[in-house]
Amino acid sequence: MTVMALETMQELESYINKYQEGILALADQIWEIAETRFEEYQSVETLIAYLKGQGFEVEVGIAGMATAFVAKYGSTGPVIGILGEYDALSGLSQKEGTPIQEAIIEGANGHGCGHNLLGTAGIAAALALKEWIDAGKVQGQIYYYGCPAEEGGSGKTFMVREGAFADVDIALTWHPHSFASVFNYSSLANYQVYFEFEGIASHAANSPELGRSALDAVELMNVGVNYLREHVPSNVRLHYAITNTGGMSPNVVQAHAEVLYLIRGKNIKEVEEIYQRVVKIAEGAALMTETKVKVKFDKACSNYLPNDTINQLLYKNLQAVGLPTYTEPELVYAQQMKQTLTGNEVQAAKNEVLSIAGTQSINTIEEQPFLNMVIPYGKSDKTMAGSTDVADVSWVVPTAQFFTPCFVFGTPLHTWQLVSQGKTSIAHKGLLYAAKVMALTAFDLLQQPELIKQAKQEHAIETKGSYINPIPTHVKPNMNK
């Protein structure tokens, strides 16, 4: 490491240490609040109060969403956008720091995807950059974006549609996970759509011939879509939930029923093709039951575009900052949590690591609570089975993201185990690791503007100006579901 690089690392450590206590307290507050999509009012109020206290100018309610905001610092130079999230998941309430499944409040919300860590690490990175700007070490602007409703709402896709990222040169983000790596693959695009069926109520025994069952229509639609599964590409995913069964009385023919579909494919074109077939099935179910169907488009997001230029920088900094180390009590707790995971869950994590590594060789994956390595980086043409609204940002701005270990290796996302670990010192160490990597990467980009130019050139070649936002202009963020 050069003298200049060593000095930069020392400065970074001092800056993060300066804000560490406040940032970790903020992450724990967001964990406790645990608000779901488009309802993150208290979470946003807490984050904004902190950012204003640190000298950021904050604009609230951007892109037509009360819980979306942007906090800005700096007046000249390239704009680095840092994406933050803070939404939780319903039904995942869980006590902290215990290897036993036990809700705080049954049925309440919980941070099952680590977004309490995700958003606050971004603030820590922004504060470190602010220190460098104030010291005259770099010239640039920081835009920290508060992004609502990643879980089931595609908040960032609405923000992109409304031009929220128009001034940004580079966007950076991360995601809590159980290992350290660059996010080097694409994601699935998706549509989320409600199908509402309207029939005619009647007495199910006395006059069944007078009724037209909306619930029958929902069930027939689901059967039809299930038969469709055999005739779509293998990467396509079709999920549904019956959100309205029409009531609790079996002796009443249900006049209203509703089903929500989430349709995923490799890109928007493929999703649109599958969506049109699903609509035909819904219309067929309505025809068979003599009911009416109303299609209500809820949200969508595109497939993610990795940026190799920024990814290489992230990988270098993941290695330069270095993995967290753990105390004996942390290792004891981690072993206890590891015992709650199934062999299949741990194997799924191993498979993901091998997929990320691509052609890079990984001979062994240790059977310890934590994976003691940064996953080797290589460009990849693979696609993960999930989706993210970061994808739409990646179509309009060169974007990169990465993972750091915040949980025991193999801990699946959206589980009580993850919620339990999300307020522990183990999760805090992953948060601080991520903050340092983001801050250092932004620092490098501002010091080497040729890298920003290179990332933009790569982005232009990849997108070819072909982006169309997948959410129709008439669709508004659905804050009632």
Residue pLDDT, tens place only, 276-290: 999 999 999 999 999
Residues 314 and 452 in one domain: yes
Beta-carbon neighbour count of residue 198 at 10 Å?
16
Asked whether residue 470 is assigned to any structural domain, the reply reads no
Q: 290 versus 1: which is more confidently predicted? A: 290
Domain co-membership, 59 together with 69: yes
428 in the same domain as 315: yes
Q: Does residue 214 contact residue 254 with C-beta atoms inside 8 Å?
A: yes
Q: What is the pLDDT of residues 257-274, one digit of tens each?
A: 999 999 999 999 999 999
Which pLDDT does position 5 carry in this prediction?
78
Orientation angle between helical segments 425-447 and 308-321, nearest 10 degrees: 130
For residue 390, what is the domain's CATH number?
3.40.630.10
**Residue 123: is its pLDDT beyond 70?**
yes
Q: In which band, very low, low, confident or very high, does the pLDDT at 368 lie, cut at 50, 70 and 90?
A: confident
- Of 274, 301, 328, which closes a domain? 301
Q: What is the token pair recorded at 61?
A: 């309610």
DSSP three-state, residue 193: strand
Q: Indicate the pLDDT class of residue 365, thresholds 50, 70 and 90.
A: confident
Question: Which backbone phi and psi does 216 adopt, to 5 degrees?
Answer: -55, -40
Strands 69-73 and 170-177: unpaired
Both 382 and 248 in a single domain?
no
Asked whether residue 170 is domain-assigned, the answer is yes
| Residue with more model confidence, 352 or 84 | 84
Q: What is the β-pairing status of strands 57-60 and 141-147?
A: unpaired
CA distance 259 to 409: 36
Separation between Cα atoms, residue 165 and residue 392, nearest integer Å:
10
pLDDT in tens, 392-421: 999 999 999 999 999 999 999 999 999 999
Both 26 and 153 in a single domain?
A: yes
Can you tell me the mean pLDDT for 446-474?
96
Query: Helix (H, G, I), strand (E, B), or coil: what is residue 314?
Result: helix
Q: What are the residues facing 70 on neighbouring strands?
A: 59, 145
Rounded to an integer, what distance in angstroms lies between the CA atom of residue 282 and that of residue 91?
A: 29
Q: What are residue 357's phi and psi, to 5 degrees? A: -65, -25
The pTM score is: 0.94
What span, in angstroms and rounded, lies between the C-alpha atoms of 404 and 459?
25
CB contact set of 219 (below 8 Å; sequence gap of 6+): none
**Domain containing residue 259: CATH number:** 3.30.70.360
**Residue-number span of the structural domain to which 210 is assigned:** 189-301
Which of 301, 325, 346 marks a domain boundary?
301
pLDDT in tens, 142-185: 999 999 999 989 999 999 999 999 999 999 999 999 999 999 99
236 and 377 belong to one structural domain = no
Kindly state whether residue 478 falls inside one of the protein's structural domains.
no
Phi-psi group of 61: left, alpha or beta (phi > 0 → left; psi -120 to 50 → alpha; rest → beta): left
Q: What is the reported pLDDT for 385?
A: 87
Q: Look at strands 170-177 and 399-405 and give their pairing.
A: parallel
Identify whether 179 is part of a domain.
yes
CA–CA separation, 362 vs 375, rounded Å? 8
Please check whether residue 468 lies inside any domain of the structure.
no
- Average predicted confidence (pLDDT) for the chain: 95
- What dihedral angle (degrees, nearest 10) is formed by the CA atoms of 20, 21, 27, 33? -160
The candidate with the shortest Cα–Cα distance to 330, out of 419, 252, 425, is 425
CA distance 306 to 73: 26
**Residue 7 belongs to some domain of the structure:** yes
Say yes or no: 31 and 131 in one domain: yes
In sequence order, the 6+-apart residues with CB closer than 8 A to the CB of 300 are 154, 157, 189, 190, 191, 192, 268, 271, 470, 471
Structural domain contains residue 159: yes
Confidence check: pLDDT of 195 > 60:
yes
Predicted pLDDT of residue 367: 67
* 111 and 246 housed in the same domain: no
Classify residue 471: in a domain, yes or no: no
- 51 and 21 within one domain: yes
Question: Are 375 and 270 in a shared domain?
Answer: no
Contacts of 296 (CB under 8 A, 6+ apart): 193, 194, 195, 196
**Same-domain status, 346 and 262:** no
Virtual torsion, Cα 132, 138, 141, 147, nearest 10 deg = -60
Report which of 472, 148, 149 is spatially closest to residue 295, judged by C-alpha positions. Answer: 472
Using a 10 angstrom Cβ sphere, with 0-12 exposed, 13-18 middle and 19 or more buried, the burial of residue 59 is: middle
Give φ, ψ of 222 to 5 degrees.
Answer: -60, -40
Residue 177, strand partner residues: 405
pLDDT digits (tens, 9 = 90+) for 20-78: 999 999 999 999 999 999 999 999 999 999 999 999 999 999 999 999 999 999 999 99
Please identify, among 257, 273, 301, the residue that sits at the C-terminal boundary of a domain. 301
Query: What is the number of structural domains in the chain?
Result: 2
218 with 118, same domain? no
